[in-house]
Amino acid sequence: MLLWNCAHQILPVAESLHQFLPQISPTCSRCRLHSENHLHLFRDCPKSGILWTYIFQRVWSNSKFDFYTFYNSDWGAWITFNLNNSMKWKSLFITAIWQIWLSRNRVVFDLKMKSAFSLYNAFYVDWTFANNCSQGKELGAYHVPGLTKKTWFPPKDGVMKLNVDGAWKSNAVAGGGGVFRRSTGSWFVGFSSKFTVSSPLTAELYALREGLIIARDFKFEKLEIETDALNLKVLLGKIKEQDHHELGPVLREVANLLNQSWVGDLAHIPKFCNKVAHSLAAHSLIMAVGSKLHFIIPSCAKSDYEADFENANPEYVETIRRNARDEANSIVGAKRSIDNADTLNQVATAGGAAQLVFGSIVADIKDARDSLKNGYCFHSFCCW
């Protein structure tokens, strides 16, 4: 639909809107240099030009491509040229048009400008997906089996699982976080770190690198990793194509760490399965220190961690809750009949089991039994 509207020049670009509503500026919202017509928006705007340059540098190596026609034709000839090209180029072209339109709308409606690099990454992930789908691989190639349950899964026995996430607001306000959990789903250690990085993707990458370095230092025997940054997984999956990527050196360092024999696959999971890492990453943005290891579960991640743990161990958690309820009921019942010496003997026996949870109450009951044996009232506050 977008392509049809685009080819017929009927998208609501600023120049067209201005003809009907003079109060709307015809100027391009992204570069503010020219009137926004279709050709400017999709090809000639400097913001779009950078994307086409990236595409020609990084993913389209065809020496026979007619660059003169691409850069010099009018709108009709441009559309005809691109849609009558090879299948590979058509797939690139349509994906780029779609991402440019999304990026433009983000500026117009949300007042948020994507960096050229972020636009290219969005294009690259979208295009890789389109290719995989057309080759029958579909999205399953990037997902972990079983995720239809929409919960976090603990790792296998003897394996530690790392969940990582990045957080980014601006170059100066960015960070990442992660958590290592055992096969029972129990907490091993977490981390939150501040970064100075230029994009959300870079924050994701740095968080992954930090997690891998911590894992190496702890000498885990087996590690599984999960991220919700699909674009990062795609980039790392095609590391040989990233020679000119501005994150190339860090991508290669992380790829080397991922290649260690003790490191398993890097899996992509939805954000709702990665909440603990997300909370730890968000926590980094407000930390006073640059980096922190969480040996104790921090309050920012506690509720998400407990939810994951319960999902991983529903029967165990229910047993714990049932025992706690039973113990609480037995103590409450004992307190009600505390003036009965026969009952107190029973309570003292039951109290032993409850001592860990209700230590202070048990102590009271024992005092009461001892007091009754000695022939005086244990209610010191009312009988003095």
- For Zn ion, the binding residues (CB under 5 A) are 28, 30-31, 45
Report the nearest approach of Zn ion to the CB of residue 44 (Å).
Answer: 7
- Closer Cβ to Zn ion, 44 or 310, answer by number: 44
Give residue 115's identity as a one-letter amino acid code. S
Q: How far is the CB of 113 from Zn ion (least distance, A)?
A: 11
Cβ neighbourhood burial of 260 (10 Å; 0-12, 13-18, 19+): exposed
Nearer to Zn ion, 33 or 320 (CB): 33
CB of 28 or CB of 208, closer to Zn ion: 28
Least separation in angstroms between CB 68 and Zn ion: 22
- In the complex, the smallest distance separating the C-beta of residue 274 from Zn ion, rounded to whole angstroms, is 36
Alpha-carbon distance of 165 to 142, in angstroms, equals: 17
Side-by-side strand order, sheet with 291-294:
263-268, 223-227, 160-168, 174-181, 187-195, 291-294
CA 209, chain centre distance (Å) = 15
Least distance between Zn ion and beta carbon 74 (Å): 17
Gap between the Cα atoms of 281 and 299, Å rounded: 13
Assess contact for 212 and 169: CB atoms under 8 A.
no
Of 45 and 236, nearer to Zn ion (C-beta) is 45
Q: Which is nearer to Zn ion, 32 or 149 (CB)?
A: 32
Instruction: Report in angstroms how near the CB of residue 107 gets to Zn ion at its nearest.
Output: 10
CB 152 within 8 A of CB 273: yes
Nearer to Zn ion, 45 or 331 (CB): 45
DSSP codes joined into one string, 310-359: HHH-HHHHHHHHHHHHHHHHHHHHHHHTTT-HHHHHHHHHHHHHHTTTSH
Q: Minimum distance from CB of 98 to Zn ion (Å)?
A: 18
207: nearest Cα among 235, 177, 250 = 177
Residue 265 DSSP SS3: strand
Contact 159, 183 (CB under 8 A): yes
Nearer to Zn ion, 31 or 59 (CB): 31
Indicate the residue among 31 and 130 with the shorter CB distance to Zn ion: 31
**CB 50, min distance to Zn ion, A:** 11
List, in sequence order, every residue forming a beta bridge with 294; answer none if it has no partner.
190
Measured CA to CA in angstroms, residue 343 lies from 303, 324, 340, 362, 368 at distances of 39, 21, 5, 14, 12
What is the rounded end-to-end Cα distance, in angstroms, of the chain?
Answer: 88
As measured in angstroms, the least distance from the Cβ of 78 to Zn ion is 16
The smaller minimum CB distance to Zn ion, of residues 31 and 141, is found at 31
